């Protein structure tokens, strides 16, 4: 066997490149002819006789045939219409897709231009664009309708590249794609038409890259935007300019969140319309992202909720008026009973005095006094429910308060109830009015007792609770730390309907005359006024747990004073003077007599202006006693503040039956200021006066 020719890698690459070029141009029928021509181009002079060259030729011929088959396979199988035309547009070759798409045999297309296939309406535009090929420009995205063998037209999108006096063409059939787009466009038009028929419903789009909103006339009307401007786009900041300031932060947060995730978004907010009205808008939208996860646009629907929200407000007002009607009806009934006891006792008292039967006076006095105390308690409960009662909060150790009340609770609930007290020894401090908390706890225990007619068990418990956002929201409280005071019974329990109305004024499940229905409403008002919440957990036939959530106070608790006999009051020292301001003559008369009995000098004023005049004088004053609500435009708190500016060490006692928190402060009176709620016992007033003056 002859020696094999030495292998030359550079020769292999050169031959391969030449073969590709020669075969691709279609100048040779097979690889052998192409090889011979390539060798000649490389300078070979002898026939191909060497065994090494024959092997190389066979290998190259196989490569060329494989590449040719690959090209032919793509040519045959492509769904796109492929073709090569000369510089005059005459088709030199086209692939089988022409026949599959248009139905015309390849022989009818090759050798002629496709001008006869172009829709008559598209011919001028197509000819104009094809003329650009002479300058070497590439055509992309040219859309032309082409005639099929069945007489219909298919829409083709063309890419044409000129090279070496040839036009290499690719056409894609986009007929169905355009039909889908048109159907979608029609459906969107129909949706817009349908939405326009529904009052107050519209569509909007936010284009992220433009930072612009587009919306229809319905949305523009809600926002108070010119519809023409809204149709061509309005910048985001201008679009949001009319959003209510209280809702703007939430809207911006929701919008920003929707641009970093693909979830749907929904938000209701208010619009300040240019006509001065307020509109409620419910907006639902979805954000669309590109292939790289970047937000592209957001589309959505806006619904004008104004009419519905106004109707809801009217309904709430109607329900409120109905509750007020129930409140005034129940209040009138209870007060008529109390007034009958008071007025009847006074009439009998007057009659017995005229008859000289003075031995029976004490009975009528006791009856009148008892009715007056019940009336005061009823008014106090009403104020608690409305959260308008004047409170005297202080840092309170609830565990100590419970221990101090335990014996009273046991006597109240009776021996048939097994009472357990389970307190957290590490219980936090709370800032609360201890007297009101005692009343609330006693009311809870009485309600629990009444739920166990045949006896049972009751648990008074305390615990610390830290509420996260979700738990706090469920209780309508800010997130934070709370102590919980709860009373649990195993009595009859409450249904869902009873729980829903448990805090309503005068609502009670007790028999007629067995209760006023103000106990729980009073507790609810007091706790809410103290910054807390009341929670009811109950099951019919199993029992109930009522829990008072009170905010934690970071400080030291005060130990409640033990209740006992009132101390003997000391007489006033010489020269001690009290200024009394009250517009009610009877109150002034009673308080003045108490002061005189104690030996104090009393100065009186009927309004704030008169009181200020005395405070601005040189008269020595040891204590100011003033009602909070005074006529003449200057209330008691304003008089007290002015007095403190003139006399920094002045002691002040507010006496009031009603006081807004704004009048007496945020619940924390300044040092040297105290509060006494009307109606009050005269001995209690005397004790408080003596205590205040003695502090000096």
pLDDT, tens digit, 9 for 90 and up, residues 539-597: 888 999 999 999 998 866 554 434 444 444 444 455 689 999 988 887 888 888 888 88
Burial (CB count <10 Å: 0-12, 13-18, 19+), residue 79: exposed
Q: What is the pLDDT of residues 138-172, one digit of tens each?
A: 988 899 999 999 999 999 999 999 988 899 999 99
Average predicted confidence (pLDDT) for the chain: 78
Which CATH number is associated with domain 178-304? 3.30.450.20
**Which single residue is written with the structure tokens 């995730």?**
261
Cα 203 to Cα 211: distance, rounded to the nearest angstrom: 17
Does pLDDT of 473 surpass 90?
Answer: no
**In terms of C-beta distances under 8 Å and separation of at least 24 residues, what long-range contacts does 220-224 make, across chains too?**
222/271, 222/273, 222/279, 222/281, 222/302, 222/304, 222/306, 223/271, 223/273, 223/281, 224/271, 224/273, 224/274, 224/275
Cα 483 to Cα 506: distance, rounded to the nearest angstrom: 29
Mean local confidence (pLDDT), 378-383: 60
Determine which helix (DSSP H) or strand (DSSP E) holds 324, and give its type and residue range. Answer: helix 306-355
Q: What is the pLDDT of residues 90-143, one digit of tens each?
A: 999 999 999 999 999 999 999 999 999 999 999 998 888 888 888 888 988 899
End-to-end CA distance of the chain: 134
Cα 531 to Cα 393: distance, rounded to the nearest angstrom: 11
Cα 302 to Cα 304: distance, rounded to the nearest angstrom: 7
Cα 21 to Cα 164: distance, rounded to the nearest angstrom: 14
Note the CATH architecture for domain 394-553.
2-Layer Sandwich (3.30)
Out of 8-22, 227-241, 462-476, 504-518, the most confident range is: 462-476
How many CB atoms lie under 10 A from the CB of residue 362? 10
Structure tokens at 567: 């101390």
DSSP 205-264: EEETTTTEEEE-HHHHHHHT--HHHHHH-EEHHHHTTTB-HHHHHHHHHHHHHHTSS---
Which CATH number is associated with domain 81-173? 3.30.450.20
Cα 303 to Cα 205: distance, rounded to the nearest angstrom: 14
- pLDDT value, residue 192: 58
Domain-wise residue ranges, the chain: 9-76, 81-173, 178-304, 310-385, 394-553, 577-694
> Residue 209: phi, psi to the nearest 5?
-65, -25
Mean local confidence (pLDDT), 289-317: 80
Please determine whether the domains at 81-173 and 178-304 fall in the same fold group of CATH: yes
**Helices (DSSP H) in 475-605: which residue ranges?**
496-501, 519-529, 585-598
Please state the pTM of the whole predicted model. 0.36
> Residue 325: phi, psi to the nearest 5?
-60, -45
268 strand-pairing partners: 282
Structure tokens at 84: 């090569």
Does pLDDT of 445 surpass 70?
Answer: yes
* Cα 553 versus chain centre, distance: 28
Mean local confidence (pLDDT), 38-61: 53
Could you say which DSSP state residue 119 is in?
A: -
Q: What is the pLDDT of residues 400-423, one digit of tens each?
A: 999 888 887 888 888 888 999 999
Does pLDDT of 617 surpass 60?
Answer: yes
577-694 homologous superfamily: Response regulator (3.40.50.2300)
Please calculate the CA angle 540-545-547 and round it to the nearest 5 degrees: 145
């Amino acid at each position: 066997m002859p020696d094999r020719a030495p292998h030359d890698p550079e020769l292999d690459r050169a031959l391969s490149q030449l073969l590709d070029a020669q075969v691709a141009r279609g100048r040779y029928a097979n690889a052998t002819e192409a090889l011979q021509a390539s060798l000649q181009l490389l300078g070979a002079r002898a026939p191909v006789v060497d065994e090494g060259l024959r092997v190389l030729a066979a290998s190259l011929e196989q490569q060329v045939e494989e590449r040719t088959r690959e090209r032919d396979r793509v040519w045959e199988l492509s769904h796109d219409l492929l073709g090569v035309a000369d510089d005059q547009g005459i088709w030199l070759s086209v692939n089988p897709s022409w026949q599959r798409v248009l139905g015309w045999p390849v022989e009818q297309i090759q050798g002629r231009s496709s001008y006869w296939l172009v829709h008559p309406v598209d011919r001028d535009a197509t000819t104009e664009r094809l003329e650009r090929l002479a300058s070497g420009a590439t055509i992309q995205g040219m859309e032309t309708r082409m005639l099929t063998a069945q007489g219909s037209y298919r829409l083709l999108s063309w890419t044409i590249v000129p090279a070496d006096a040839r036009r290499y063409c690719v056409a894609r059939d986009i007929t169905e794609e355009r039909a889908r787009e048109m159907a979608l466009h029609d459906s969107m038009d129909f949706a817009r038409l349908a939405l326009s028929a529904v009052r107050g419903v519209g569509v909007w789009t936010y284009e992220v890259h433009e930072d612009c909103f587009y919306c229809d006339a319905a949305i523009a009307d809600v926002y108070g935007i010119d519809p023409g401007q809204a149709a061509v786009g309005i910048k985001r900041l201008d679009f949001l300019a009319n959003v209510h300031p209280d809702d703007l932060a939430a809207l911006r947060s929701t919008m920003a969140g929707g641009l970093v995730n693909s979830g749907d978004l929904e938000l209701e907010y208010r619009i300040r319309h240019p006509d001065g009205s307020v509109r409620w808008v419910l907006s639902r939208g979805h954000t669309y992202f590109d292939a790289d996860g970047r937000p592209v646009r957001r589309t959505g629907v806006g619904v004008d909720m104004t009419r519905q929200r106004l109707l809801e407000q009217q309904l709430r007002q109607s329900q409120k008026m109905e509750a007020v009607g129930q409140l005034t009806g129940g209040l009138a009934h209870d007060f008529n009973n109390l007034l009958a006891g008071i007025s009847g006792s006074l009439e009998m008292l007057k009659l017995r005095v005229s008859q000289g039967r003075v031995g029976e006076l004490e009975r009528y006095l006791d009856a009148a006094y008892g009715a007056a105390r019940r009336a005061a308690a009823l008014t106090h409960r009403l104020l608690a429910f409305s959260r308008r009662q004047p409170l005297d909060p202080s840092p309170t150790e609830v565990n100590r308060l419970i221990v101090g009340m335990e014996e009273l609770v046991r006597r109240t609930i009776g021996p048939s109830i097994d009472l357990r007290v389970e307190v957290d020894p590490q219980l936090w401090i709370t800032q609360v009015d201890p007297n009101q908390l005692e009343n609330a706890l006693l009311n809870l225990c009485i309600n629990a007792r009444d739920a166990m007619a045949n006896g049972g068990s009751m648990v008074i418990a305390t615990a610390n609770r830290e509420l996260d956002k979700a738990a706090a929201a469920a209780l309508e409280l800010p997130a934070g730390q709370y102590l919980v005071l709860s009373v649990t019974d195993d009595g009859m329990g409450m249904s869902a309907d009873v729980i829903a109305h448990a805090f309503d004024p005068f609502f009670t499940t007790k028999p007629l005359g067995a209760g006023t229905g103000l106990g729980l409403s009073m507790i609810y008002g007091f706790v809410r006024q103290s910054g807390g919440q009341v929670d009811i957990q109950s099951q019919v036939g199993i029992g109930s747990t009522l829990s008072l959530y009170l905010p934690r106070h970071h400080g030291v608790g005060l130990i409640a004073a033990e209740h006992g006999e009132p101390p003997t009051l000391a007489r006033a020292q010489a020269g001690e003077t009290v200024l009394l301001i009250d517009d009610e003559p009877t109150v002034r008369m009673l308080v003045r007599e108490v002061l005189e009995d104690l030996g104090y000098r009393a100065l009186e004023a009927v309004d704030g202006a008169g009181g200020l005049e005395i405070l601005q004088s040189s008269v020595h004053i040891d204590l100011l006693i003033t009602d909070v609500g005074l006529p003449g435009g200057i209330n008691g708190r304003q008089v007290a503040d002015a007095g403190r500016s003139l006399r920094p060490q002045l002691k002040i006692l507010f006496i009031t039956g009603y006081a807004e928190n704004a009048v007496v402060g945020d619940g924390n009176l300044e040092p040297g200021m105290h509060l006494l709620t009307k109606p009050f016992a005269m001995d209690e007033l005397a004790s408080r006066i003596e205590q205040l003056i003695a502090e000096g």
